[in-house]
Structure 1
Amino acid sequence: MRLFAAVLPPPAAADELATEVAALKRLPAAESLRWTGHAGWHFTLAFMGEVDDELVPDLQARLARAAHRTASFPLRLHRGGRFGHRALWIGAAGGIEQMRLLAERADAAARRAGVAMEEHRRYQAHLTIARTRDAGGDLRPYVEALDAFEGTSWQVGELALVRSNLPVSGVQGEQPRYEVVGSWSLEGAG
C-alpha cells in the first residue's frame, strides 16, 4: 500500500483554508490549475511510497514510539509559496522545529521498519493546494495573494499514517483518496 506519515489540520483550520482557496480561485487563470481537495489537505512528514503489507505492523509500532517521544506543539497555517512553476502551497508557523523533529522521527521509524525511503532532505512544512497543468504556469500572483494569510493556531496532538489511493478511473481531475490507517497521540515522553 502507498503510505505517508502526516499532520492533519483540524476542521476549523481546514475551513479557514477553504475560504482562502475560494478567494484564490477567483484570480485570473485559476481554472488552469489543478486544485487539491479539502479532504486531501495534509502536511506530509515522511513519504514512504509503496510499503509491503508485512512491514506495516512494525512501521506502526515504530511510529507509535515516535509519537510517544514527541510533545504536542502549536501550529498555524501561514502564508504561501511555490515549488518553481509546479506546485502552490500553504506554509506553517509556530512549532516548526517540533514538526521538523516529528518528520525526522517518522522518517527514521520507516527506515528502521525496512521501508526503502528516498534520499533524506531537510523538512519544509507545506500543504499543497494546487498544481500547474504545464510548466509555464505563473504561480507568483497566488503567492502574493497569500502573503497576508494567517490561520488560527491549533495544537498538533497526533501523528497519522495515511494511505494514498491513487485515481484509477481515468476521469480528468479525479483526486487521490486518503485514508488514515493509524494515528497516535503526541505524548512528549522523551
Structure 2
Amino acid sequence: MRLFAAVLPPEEQQTELAHAVDRLVRLPGAERLRWTSRPGWHFTLAFMGEVDEELLPDLHARLGRAARRTDPFPLRLHGGGHFGRRALWVGAAGGIDTLRLLAERVDAAARRAGVAMDEHRRYQAHLTVARARHDTDLRPFLAELDRFEGRRWQVAELALVRSRLPGSGVPGEQPRYETVGAWPLGGAG
C-alpha cells in the first residue's frame, strides 16, 4: 500500500485555510491550477511509497516509539511558498524545529522497519494547496498567501496515511486518503 506519515491540521485550521483558498481560486489564472481539497491538506513528514504489508507491524511499532519520544508542540498555518513554477503551498510557524525532529524520527523509523525510502533531504514544512501541469506564474497567489496567518493549535498526534491515486482518468479527480494508524505525541494520549 502507498503510505506517508503526516501531521493533520484540525478542522478549525482547515476551515481557515479553506477561506484563504477561496480567495486564491478567484484570482486571475487560478483555472490553470489543480487545487487540492481538504482531505489532501496535511504536512507530510515522510513519504514511504509502496510498503509491503509484512512490514506494517514493525513500522507501526517504530512510529509509535517516534511519536512517544516527541513532545506535543504548537503549530499554525502561515504564509506560503512554491516549488518551482508548478506547486503552491502554505507554510507553518511555531514549533518548526520539533516538526523537523519528528520528520527525522519518522524517516529513521521507516528505514529501520525496512521501508525503502528515497534519498534523505532537509525537511521543508509545507501543505500543498495547488499544482500546475505547466510552468505557471505563482506570484499573485504567493502575494495573497503572504498575508495568511492561521490560528495556533497543539500538534498532539502522528498519523500514518494511505494514499490511493485516481485511476478513473476523470479530470479533477483527487487522490483518496485514509488514516491507517495514529499515535499520540509524548504524553498526549
- TM-score w.r.t. the length of structure 2 is 0.98
Compute the RMSD of aligned alpha carbons: 1.0
3-state SS of 2:166 partner? coil
> What is the deviation of 1:133?
2.2
Distance 1:101 1:188, change over 3 A: farther
TM-superposed CA distance for 1:39, in Å, is 1.2
1:111-130: CA deviations, max 9, x gaps?
A: 00000000000000000000
SS in structure 1 of the partner of residue 167 of structure 2: coil
SS at the partner of 1:21?
helix
- Does the CA-based 8 Å contact 1:67-1:188 persist in structure 2? no
- Amino acid in the other structure paired with 2:100: R
Provide, for residues 34-83 of structure 1, a one-character-per-residue CA deviation record: whole Å limited to 9, x for no partner: 00011110000000000001001100100000001100000000000000
User: What's the counterpart of residue 91 of structure 1?
Assistant: 91
Stretches of 4+ aligned residues off by more than 3 angstroms: none
- In 2: Cα distance, 1:44 partner to 1:138 partner: 25
Counterpart in the other structure of 2:53: 53
Aligned pair count reads: 188
Q: CA deviation at 1:140?
A: 1.0
Does the alignment pair 1:36 with 2:36?
Answer: yes
% identical aligned pairs: 73
Distance across 1 between alignment mates of 2:86 and 2:134? 8
Unmatched 5+ stretches in structure 2 = none
Map 1:158-177 onto structure 2 (within 5 A): 158-177=157-176
Q: Secondary structure at the match of 1:143?
A: helix
| Residue of structure 1 equivalent to 2:147 | 148
Contact conserved, 1:77 with 1:93, CA < 8 A, in 2? yes
1:103 aligns with 2:103: yes
Q: In the aligned structure 2, how far is the partner of 1:51 from the partner of 1:140?
A: 37
Displacement of 1:188: 5.6
Cα separation, 2, equivalents of 1:169 and 1:3: 20
Which residue does 1:127 correspond to in 2? Answer: 127
Distance 1:32 1:57 in 2: 42
* Structure-1 residue corresponding to 2:21: 21
